[in-house]
Amino acid sequence: MNECTALPKKELLIQIQIPFCTGHCHYCERKNLGNSRTLFRQYLKALKAEITDTAPEISDYDVTSIHICGDNTITMMGTDILDEFLLFLKRTIPTADHTQWVIDMLPYEMSAASLTVLRNAHISILHLNTGTCQMKEFNLLKRPYYYAAFDGALSLISMYQQHNISIGLFAGLPGQTEDSLVRSLQYALKAQPVQLSLQACSPDAEAKFSSSVDCLMAQSGLQRYGTGWNYALPGQERIEYTQDSDNMDCIGFGAGAATRLDGNSYHNTENLSLYLAYSTDPQMIACDLKSSDMK
């Protein structure tokens, strides 16, 4: 089969779980492995081994998105290890110029040093998991940083002319009103994000607040897309949130990471000891394997 008749490669999403946080925030469903430096170094070694061992199986795919998930990752790594880890990923995982790279970060992790590393690595999207921009709601969420950290992030975003910011907020928090959510959104929009997503924390949150949120986002040029509560500038949508992503294969690396591949779906164990010992053995770390006939 020549190049003219070659079939297009199947698209693949990749998520890399690094769940080491300074604390466990309310409404966070992620497994938190704490903030032990010793455990983190062991985890990173096992994570690299899993990625390296799986990389040959990825070569037949078109990797469209790589998402490094986990607040506090940049703090745990420091800029030197972060730089080395990003280089490792780019050397190991077969990617293309159009691959969308996303990294989660907290406002206090934004610094001149971290922005330089992320810019040199050509990270597409810096996702700030802010949660809220209202002081009382910060206290409710027990966020592991101060409200002023977002002010500092805003200054750096402006100084370094970052045009790749994504903001994550909660909607439907106890006591949250339409007015307080709108104020939080208005403050977040000062970062001039290319993407903004909301997580509903109550069953009626989306029905209750969607109209106001849609209106405010439209005024800022952000359009709703995909199956979730997500907004983006046209052409800046997060690939993993688009409608088509439901039909894409996805590989998850790390403890608790989920994989959907060739009709099979499973997630890695959340047992840290088991993951550290067998990260290169999918049969040992896989949980809840489910198969379906491919149509």
Contacts of 264 (CB under 8 A, 6+ apart): 289, 290, 291, 292
Residue 208 pLDDT: 96
Give the angle subtended at the CA of 61 by the CAs of 68 and 238, to the nearest 5°. Answer: 40
Q: Which residues of 92-101 are buried (b: 16+ CB within 10 A; e: fewer)?
A: ebbbeeebbb
This prediction's pTM: 0.92
**CA–CA gap between residue 49 and residue 97 (Å, rounded):** 25
Q: Name the residue among 176, 179, 168, 185 with its Cα closest to residue 219.
A: 185
Whether 230 and 255 have beta carbons less than 8 Å apart is answered as: no
Residue 224 pLDDT: 97
On the CB side of 120, how many CA atoms lie within 13 Å of its CA? 14
CB count within 10 Å of CB 180 equals: 16
Residue 1 pLDDT: 43
Whether 18 and 47 have beta carbons less than 8 Å apart is answered as: yes
Distances (CA, A) of 203 to 139, 170, 199: 22, 13, 11
Residue 148 pLDDT: 81
Task: Take residue 75 and report the two structure tokens written for it.
Answer: 């703090």
pLDDT (tens place) for every residue of the chain, 295 residues total: 445 556 678 999 999 999 887 666 555 666 667 778 899 999 999 999 999 999 999 999 999 999 999 988 999 999 999 999 999 999 999 999 999 999 999 999 999 999 999 999 999 999 998 888 887 787 777 765 566 888 999 999 999 999 999 999 999 998 899 999 999 999 999 999 999 999 999 999 999 999 999 999 999 999 999 989 999 999 999 999 998 887 899 999 999 999 998 888 999 999 999 999 999 999 999 998 776 443 3
Residue 244 pLDDT: 84
